[in-house]
A and B are shown apart, each in its own frame.
Chain A
Amino acid sequence: MPRLKFLTLVGALALVASAAHGADAPVESLVTTFNPDLWGREITMTSTWTGPASNIAKDVLDNFWFSFLVFVPFLVLPQVLLVYAMLKFRDRGDGRKSATFMHNTKLENLWTAIPILALAIVAIPVYPLLYKMELPPKDADNALAITVRGKQFAWEYDYKREGINVGNDLVSGQQEPMVLVKDRVTTLRITSNDVNHAWWVPAFGVKKDAIIGRFNNTWFTPDRVGNFKGQCAELCGDGHGVMIISAVVVEPAQFETWQMLQKHRDQAKKVWDALIAWETGKPEDGLRQALAGYRGKFLGDQQADFALQYWMAHNQTSFARSAPIKGAKVEDQASFPQRFAEWQRQQKLMPARRERLGQIMAATVAAAPAHIPAAAPIVAQAQE
């Protein structure tokens, strides 16, 4: 907890600093939150058992332990009896005669009836939970409704009400996480574009198959801020193992910020492209034009400049993860060293270019940024 407070303090200070000097500390922390490295080591796996993060997962875990405790005598008893019989009744060569009984109706009835009783005890509480998992609560009018679409080998998330569509990072082409809100009911409609997939984040305790031509519904309420990862859970072809699923759970205020940022995503990509193409065209002119175009699109939008800074940082992070792949295709093998060197060079150039972009932005009409909630790095919070 003290650490969380400290981070919040740092975030607030950074916000003040950025308002004064245009530094990008909140930008960086937002990037850490919304663009985590799904292929890297920063997110640790949590599951229903190791770190339940939704109401459903907690119910499932409770139900598991209850059933486990009822069932466990039927696991332990045979093992104990087996070991006992092995020790007690082994032939020691002392001429002891075996028993001759072949039946014991009472005993047989007993070991038929008692398991049935135990099963009945377990069967009762599991029934309402089963129905709970199928139907979202009726009073959840503020539910976050997301359409999840699986395709070989990525996920697409459609926030219909918010008009947001994420899934494929515009720069790296890698899987993007979905963003969820803490303590807000999330309903998923899951379907597939091609073969069967299954959407599964172990920490949420929810798994549903994505099947072409069907919409499967499921729901849960994430109750912990953090990064949660999973993997496609139905064999879907060669990329099955790298079909990553990830969810970022944030506070409502941060979700507002994320929504705002997503509105600027496609336009900001044009500025990014100009930034990458900087030295091929005329120096800076392409960049100035792209920036003007961007500001033209969002005329009067006070947050646009902030969003642009965010996306530049976001895309730079993504770019660092988009190394060309060696050995993907035979014809690519020869050009691999050049492509790899080019990727490395672009990466080195990037900080200077972003700084120049900032200077141009500051020199031209600089709208005062509206209040942007500070986003503390989520990984640190999850570890609290």
Chain B
Amino acid sequence: MTTALLPPIARYTGVMDWLTTVDHKKIGLMYFWFTLFMGIVGGALSGLIRFHLAMPGATIEAIQQARLGGVDVAMNLFSENRHAYNQVMTMHASVMIFFVVIPAFAAFGNYLLPIMIGARDMAFPKMNGFAFWLLVPASLLMFTSFLTAGGSAAAGWTSYPPLSLMGRGANPGQDMWILGVHLAGLSSILGSINFIVTVANMRAPGMGWLQMPLFVWAVFITSVIQLTATPVLGSAVTMLLMDRNFGTTFLDASKGGDPLLYQHIFWFYSHPAVYIMILPGFGGISHVFAAFSRKRVFGYFGMVLALGVIGIIGFSVWAHHMFSVGMPTALQAFFMYMSFLIAVPTGIKIFSWLATMWGGTIRFTVAMKFACGFLSLFTLGGFGGLILALVPVDISLHDTYFVVGHFHFTLVGGSVMLLFGMTYFWWPKMSGRMLDEKVGTVVFWLMFIGVFVAFMTMHISGMVGMARRISVYYEDFRRLNVITTVGYVLAMLGSIIFVGQLVFSYRKPKITENDPWKINDLQGGLEWATSSPPPVYNFEVVPPIPIVDHMPKH
């Protein structure tokens, strides 16, 4: 057993190496930087929205006053140019979902999962590279659609027909959006197949299913959801594409189709998709909680079970996005109760994390701060979700800023906080450089306060009656919108510092320890048993798997 048996495969160097690599760590890093870049783009798009909505010209009353005074009403970015607003709003959501949050977890999955299970690479390295490179044309399709006549897709990321069927032939932006979603979907299908096969077959000897780290479990369950749900999204947008271009009438009510069919199929994917966007983080953050509490994770088996149950129930709650479309009452009741139930496994996870901290000796590194911040914000977001599950209340809150606030709490307060925390935790392993703790603390507080202010205010906007996706609003909501924008500025500032910190970390000296956090005596993670960053082959010899009896004793 020597390294000589495993020469690093390096046919190219430099840029060509990155373009042709099939190494899971390099692909993971490419995913990582891709999502960071896309995150900046998506954040800038939301900046356009937020600044427009904070300016005085964004109210209905201001527009009318300007008209009566004979003044040009185009004083704000989108006051009269509402088509542009819809484009920006649509693309902000599409970018953030398809090119930021979903691939960001694929970045950590790619980098860490093979190492965590003691494998040398993913099961299908070339498919892995293909899955990543599919994202590039997908994103190019979406972005270049801004340049076409009629601009990009403007029907929201949900693209409900009949609105998304309008402008057939004249507006290729919607078609490009559909094809972009197809490519991104294919990418995540291939990626999930790869994860499933890798976890099932390539665990190091001695690592049973219940010895796997929680992050591996989370990625595995997420991949199963992804593999099952994403083709369904493909079928929904294919119908859209066919209806738009080839004269079919799946969704066209005037020719006997049913526009509601699309909503059902779309949400059958898109509800599980919200778990795709957070479950891997649930797994990852368990490591952070355990490591910095200097304990082992509490209730491992319950955690795994909860992940699985969320994955299963997640498939039977999709119509809670559609309580106002006019469904049979019994069906509404069913989806309401199923949505209730999903709070139970989520609660188990929250309480288990708290129990992991309980009695520990907690070190407040930036990663741990993000973990605690996530727990606090995610509980708030989950609480909003419970309120929304109540059909009678949801009827009042559906399609308002309350919903926007809720899912931003879970996606930004949840997923993004998780991603930041995981980055602070594993960046030393991935890059071989520590991140500065003081700067990280500033990032944390900016993010925490910014997210709280922006999205808590959105909840209130929704409760006092502000509909979502509107480019102009009643003056009653003006103050709330200004506060939201202040929160946005804080969070965006934090994100920019974060990206800068990552870029400049490459100028710092390399670390030499395998286990820079000094946690592995207790955690026994394989990723901390190899160098930082790991060699191409990950391990010369796979270290012995520390057998931990995770099962509760009776």
Contact = CB atoms under 8 A, between A and B. Distances in A.
B229 interface: no
Contacts of A211: 253, 259-260, 325-326
Interface in B292-344: 293-300, 302, 324-326, 329, 332-333, 336-337, 340-341, 343-344
Contacts of B332: 130
A240 B82 contact: yes
A90 B350 CA distance: 19
Nearest to B474: A45
Nearest to B471: A241
B472 A202 contact: no
A241 B474 CA distance: 9
Interface string B68-104: 1011111000001011011000000000000000000
Contacts of A221: none
Nearest to A56: B392
B524 interface: no
A231 B474 contact: yes
A141 B75 CA distance: 51
Interface string A229-240: 111111111111
Nearest to B60: A39
B162 A196 contact: yes
A45 B63 CA distance: 18
A101 B351 CA distance: 14
B396 A47 contact: yes
Interface stretch (A110-118, A273-281, A294-302, A365-373): A110-118
A142 interface: no
B358 A82 contact: no
B469 to A, nearest CB: 5
Contacts of A288: none
Interface residues of A, number: 99
A326 B61 CA distance: 16
Given A44-B476, A205-B395, A103 B72 contact: no
B8 interface: no
Contacts of A40: 61, 64
Contacts of A205: 392, 395-396
Interface in A314-356: 320-321, 323-328, 336, 340
Given A78-B379, A213-B253, A244-B60, A102 B465 contact: no
A60 B337 contact: no
A107 interface: yes
Given A64-B390, A82-B354, A244-B60, A231 B326 contact: no
Nearest to A81: B354
Nearest to A192: B162
B399 A233 contact: yes
B361 A45 contact: no
Interface in A198-249: 198, 200, 202-203, 205-209, 211-214, 216-217, 229-242, 244
Interface string B512-554: 0000000000000000000000000000000000000010111
Given A75-B380, A235-B86, A99 B295 contact: yes
Nearest to B463: A49
Nearest to B341: A119
Contacts of A198: 324, 398-399
B362 A67 contact: no
B390 A196 contact: no
B143 interface: no
Contacts of A50: 463-465
A79 B374 CA distance: 11
A63 B354 contact: no
Interface stretch (A26-34, A120-128, A376-384): A120-128
Interface in B341-384: 341, 343-344, 347-348, 350-352, 354-355, 357-364, 372, 375-376, 379-380, 383
A68 interface: yes
A202 B465 contact: yes
Contact of A231 (B298, B392, B470, B475): B470
Interface in B373-428: 375-376, 379-380, 383, 386-387, 390-393, 395-396, 398-400
Given A71-B386, A100-B295, A130 B392 contact: yes
B477 interface: yes
Interface-centre pick from B298, B351, B375, B465 (highest chain A CB count, 10 A)? B465
A234 B350 CA distance: 34
A59 B337 contact: no
B392 A60 contact: yes
B359 to A, nearest CB: 3
B67 interface: yes
Contact of A98 (B293, B364, B472): B293
Given A102-B297, A321-B64, 13 more contacts: A45-B465, A74-B383, A78-B376, A82-B357, A91-B294, A119-B343, A195-B160, A206-B395, A213-B258, A213-B259, A231-B467, A231-B474, A326-B70
30 contacts: A45-B464, A45-B476, A45-B477, A47-B464, A57-B396, A64-B393, A67-B390, A79-B376, A82-B372, A82-B376, A91-B294, A96-B361, A97-B361, A103-B553, A105-B552, A129-B392, A130-B391, A130-B392, A203-B465, A205-B392, A212-B259, A233-B398, A234-B399, A235-B156, A240-B86, A241-B60, A242-B82, A323-B67, A327-B73, A327-B80
The 5 A-B pairs of least Cβ separation, nearest first, read: A99-B359, A202-B465, A39-B64, A241-B470, A216-B326
